[in-house]
Structure 1
Amino acid sequence: MDLQEQLKKLFPDHEVSAEAEEVVETEHELYVQKEPMICKYEKRKGKATTIIEGYEGSDDDFKLLAKEIKTKLSVGGSFKDGAIIIQGDYRDKIMTILKEKGFKTKRIGG
């Protein structure tokens, strides 16, 4: 018994539509500030981390930016206390991503 047959038994009155639903994704505009964002390198517990600070917009926008950076670089990281923490030393790549989006960046450390 496949999934379609099981669904028909559970929901006998349901009719399957022939049209595929389209998911329209709108791109969210980030607030681009005049002051540069700080991109610094630290070692935490013996491991290299890149920290991005200094965003003046809302936390939701900063979280979206963090998610986009993590997916583009295929790395782990988090958003804590108004800073994006990326695992590894990716300052150069992060700075180019931010410059493409229109942000000014300032490199600090090492």
Structure 2
Amino acid sequence: MEGYEFEGFLKSVFERLGYSVIHTPLSGDQGADLILSGNKGRIAVQAKRYSSKVSNKAVQEVVASKALYKCTEGLVVTNNYFTNSAIELAEANGIGLIDREKLKKMIIKSYS
């Protein structure tokens, strides 16, 4: 599965969970791959399909995209895990992190 396919898969998972989802352009997305709309407002999502841990760069990208897309929250979703620096930066900026364990639970919930 390529990165853009992972984004499409996440789009369908979030839709099954009740969100309205906009898939941003494949290039020039300014740090957000998906924009979710739901009861909690708009959420900027950065999707990372990586073979290694996700660094704080992904967190920086979604922090920057929140204002551009007028989102109240930011989220980074990966099929892997996060580095300690990514976790620290996310906590400092109120960004949610979904690693592979949380993602598995989210997928199961979306099909329940």
Answer yes or no: same fold by TM over 0.5. no
TM-score normalized by the length of structure 2: 0.31
Which one has a larger percent helix, Structure 1 or Structure 2? 2
Specify which structure has the bigger relative contact order, considering alpha-carbon pairs within 8 angstroms and separated by 6 or more residues. Answer: 1
